[in-house]
Chain A
Amino acid sequence: MIGFIAKRFINYAILSAIATLSAYVLASIILNPAARYLGRNPRPSDATINSILDGLGVNPNTPWVERLWAWIVRLVTEGSLGDTIHNTSVISEIAARAGTSLRLLILGTVIAAIVGVTLGVWGAVRQYRFSDQAISVASFTILATPAFVLGILLMIVATLLNNFLGVQLISFTGEYTPGLDGGWWVQFGDRAGHLLLPTISLALMGAAGYSRYQRSAMLDVLAADYIRTARSKGRTRGSALVRHGVRVALIPMSTYFAYSFATVLAGAAVTELVFSWHGMGELLVQSISQSDINAFTGAILFNAILILIAGTLADVVYAALDPRVRV
C-alpha cells in the first residue's frame, strides 16, 4: 500500500513540476512585462527598463531557456520564487493570500464531499421517488449555472434577506469588515459571516457534481450480489447498504475527486473574484493582466501543489477502501 501511494505521489509530483515549468515558459512567451513601462509618460529610458526587468529576471531580450534555468536555480539554491513587479517577494505574496483561499477551499470541498455523497446515496436508494427526482433536477440546474452567476444570485438573495430583516445579517463583500473594532470573537464572527456565501456557492457546485457520480456508482453497487448476500446472512438493510454498499461506491468517487479537483480550483478562483476576496485567484488573474511572470508561475505552483495533495489524499482513501490495492 505504501508502495502504491508512493508511486502515485511521485507521478503527481512530476506532473505538477512539469505543469509549473510549462506555465513559466508559456507566460514568458506570451506576456510582455516591458509594456507596463513603455506606456508611461515620460517614458523611461531603455536602459532603465532593461535593468528593472533584468533585476526581476523577466527581460524578454534574454532567451526564455536562460530565464527558466535562472528561475530553477534560484528556486533550488535560495528557495525563492522571485519578485513580483511590485518588488515584493512572490513567496510573501502567496503566504499573505494562501490562508484566505485555503479557508474557502477546504471548507467548500469538505462540505461539498459530505453533502454530495449523502445526496447521491439517498438518490440511489430512493431511485425514481420524489426526493431522487428533486435532487437530480437541482443538481442538473446547478451544474448548468456558471460559478459567477451562482455567486451573484446568492448575493441578490442575501441583499433581499437583509432588506427584509432591516439588519445586515449576511455580509458578502470582501473577506472581513474593514475597521471593525472588537475582540477576537467579534473578528471571528465577522470572518465566519463573510465566509458563508462563498462557501455555500463553492459547496453547491461541488455537491451537484459529486451527487451525480455517487448516485450512479451507488446504483451499480445496489444491483450487486454481495448486497443480497449481506442481507441474507442477517444484516439489516441500512447496515448492508452502509458497510457493503457505500464503502464500495466510494471507490470510484475517490478517483473522480482527484480528477475533478482542478475544476474545483478554477471554480474557487472565480468565486473569490466575484466576492472580491484577495486570494490566490485574484493573484492569478492580476498577474496576467499586469504581465507579471513570476507571480503567475507562483500561483500556478501553489495550485499544482494543492492538486498534488488532493490527488495523493484521494489515493490514500482509495487504498484504504479497496483491499485489492493493499496486497
Chain B
Amino acid sequence: MSMLDEMPAPDATAVITDVVHSAKPVSRLRLVMARLRSTPRFWVGIIGLGAIILWAIFGLVPNAWNYTDLDIYNMGSSPSRLHWFGTSDIGEDIYAQTIVGLRKSLIIGLLVGPLAAIVAGVVGAVAGYLGGWWDRVIVWVIDLLLVLPSLFLFILLSPIFKQLSWVALIFLLAGFGWMIMARVIRAQTRSLRERDFIKAARFMGVDTWTIIRRHVLPNVSSLLIIDATLGVGAAILSETTLSFFGFGIQAPDVSLGTLLAAGQSAAATRPWLFIFPAAILVFTVLSASLVGDALRDAVDPTSGVNRD
C-alpha cells in the first residue's frame, strides 16, 4: 500500500516551466483552468454531466406519462412514439421511471462524493498532523476497512438502513467511501507539517484545529476536489449495486439500481427494460469520472496525459 503514500505532491517546478513565456505571474487556479480547457476529456465529461443533470431536472416535462402511471392498453410494449423507452409488463412508462431513478441516483452521488471527501480531508489531516497514537489508530482503521470489502459491510448494515429513509443510505455510503483518499491526505499532511509556514504558525501558538483548518486543508484542497468528483461516480456505482440486490433503495422509491433489478429478468427478451437505464447509468458515471480524471491531470502535472 506504499504506492498511496508515494503519490507525488503538486510539483512546483513543473508549474514554473509552463509559466516561463508569460510576462506576469499566473495564479495556480488560472493555470489549472487553462490546462482543463485544453483537455478534451474534461469537455466530454462536463458536457455529458451537465446534459444528464439538465435532463434529470427537465426530462419529464415533454413526456405524457408520470412515473406512477400505468398504461393498461400498452403493457410490455417496445419503444414507440407514445412510450419513448417502452413499457414494463404492468404498463409503467420506462422513460419516466428512468428519469425518476436517475434523479435519486444523481442526488446520492452528488452528495456522497463531497461528503466522503470532507471526511477524508479531516481524518487524513488529523492523522497526519497529530501523528503518534492518533495516527496509528486511524491508519489501522483505514487498513482494516481496506481488508473488509465495503460492499459486504453495506450489505451487513442494510437491515438497519432499510428501516430508515433513503437519506440514511447517503451517510452509509459516505461513511465508508473516504479511506483511500484519507491515506493520501495523511501522507501529504505529514510533509506539509515540516514546512516553515506551518512551523511558524505552531510556534506562534496557533491551536491545532485552526492550523488544520487554515493551513493544512487549503493546501490539500485540490486533492479533495478531485476525490469529491471521482467519488460521485463511485457512489453511484455502490448505490446501484446495493439497490440491484435489494439492499439499498427500497420499494416506493425508485433508483437506477431498483429499475435495473426489475428489468433484469426480461433483459434478453425485452431489452429496452434493461438497456436504456443501464446505458444512462454508465454514461453518468463515465462523465463524472472523466471530469475527475481531467481534474487530476490538471492539478498534478506529473500524472497521466501531461507526462511525455
Contacts and interface: CB of A to CB of B under 8 A. Distances in A.
A18 interface: yes
Interface in A18-60: 18-19, 22-23, 26-27, 30-31
B144 A146 contact: no
A41 B274 CA distance: 39
Nearest to B269: A159
B160 interface: yes
A140 B151 CA distance: 21
A117 to B, nearest CB: 15
19 contacts: A19-B148, A26-B156, A30-B156, A140-B289, A144-B237, A146-B244, A149-B278, A152-B264, A152-B267, A152-B274, A156-B268, A216-B304, A259-B1, A265-B149, A269-B149, A288-B156, A296-B156, A300-B152, A304-B147
A241 to B, nearest CB: 17
Contacts of B278: 149, 152-153
A15 interface: yes
Contact of B155 (A12, A19, A284, A307): A284
A155 B307 contact: no
Nearest to B275: A156
Interface residues of A, number: 51
B11 interface: no
A158 to B, nearest CB: 9
Contact of B241 (A18, A148, A219, A284): A148
Q: Is the interface of A mostly helix, strand, loop or mixed?
A: helix
Contact of B147 (A143, A160, A256, A307): A307
Interface string B266-282: 01100100110010011
Interface in B130-168: 143-144, 146-153, 155-160
Given A148-B260, A149-B281, A219-B307, A30 B159 contact: yes
Interface string A297-319: 00010011001000000000000
B245 A140 contact: no
Highest count of chain B CB atoms <10 Å: which of A16, A219, A263, A303:
A219
Q: Determine the interface band of chain B, counting residues with CB < 8 A from chain A.
A: 35 or more
Highest count of chain B CB atoms <10 Å: which of A12, A144, A155, A269:
A144
Highest count of chain B CB atoms <10 Å: which of A263, A288, A296:
A288
A177 interface: no
Interface in B1-20: 1-4
Interface string A153-185: 101100110000000000000000000000000
A155 B268 contact: yes
B144 A15 contact: yes
B196 interface: no
A197 interface: no
A285 B303 contact: no
A90 B97 CA distance: 42
The 10 closest A-B pairs by CB, nearest first: A144-B286, A144-B285, A266-B151, A159-B268, A266-B149, A255-B3, A262-B149, A19-B148, A149-B278, A19-B147
Interface string B250-264: 000000000010001
Contacts of A252: 3
A149 B260 contact: yes
A258 B1 contact: yes
Contacts, number: 121
Contacts of A256: 3
A270 interface: yes
Nearest to A159: B268
Nearest to A270: B241
A115 B107 CA distance: 36
B159 A15 contact: no
B289 to A, nearest CB: 6
Given A22-B144, A27-B156, A156-B271, A303 B1 contact: no
Nearest to B3: A255
A148 B244 contact: yes
A30 B157 contact: yes
B308 interface: yes
A244 to B, nearest CB: 18
Contacts of B237: 144, 146
A2 interface: no
Nearest to A140: B286
Given A141-B286, A145-B282, A19 B144 contact: yes
A31 B157 CA distance: 9
Contacts of A153: 278
A16 B244 CA distance: 29
B295 interface: no
A144 to B, nearest CB: 4
Contacts of A223: 307-308
B99 interface: no
B229 interface: no
A112 interface: no
Interface in B285-308: 285-286, 289-290, 293, 303-304, 307-308
Contacts of A219: 307
A16 B264 contact: no
B233 interface: yes
B306 to A, nearest CB: 10
Given A15-B144, A30-B160, A146-B240, 9 more contacts: A140-B290, A148-B245, A149-B260, A149-B282, A152-B260, A152-B278, A156-B274, A259-B1, A270-B241
Contacts of B304: 216
Given A149-B282, A256-B3, A220 B245 contact: no
Interface string B229-244: 0000100010011001
Contacts of A255: 1-3
Contacts of A285: 155, 245
Nearest to B183: A259
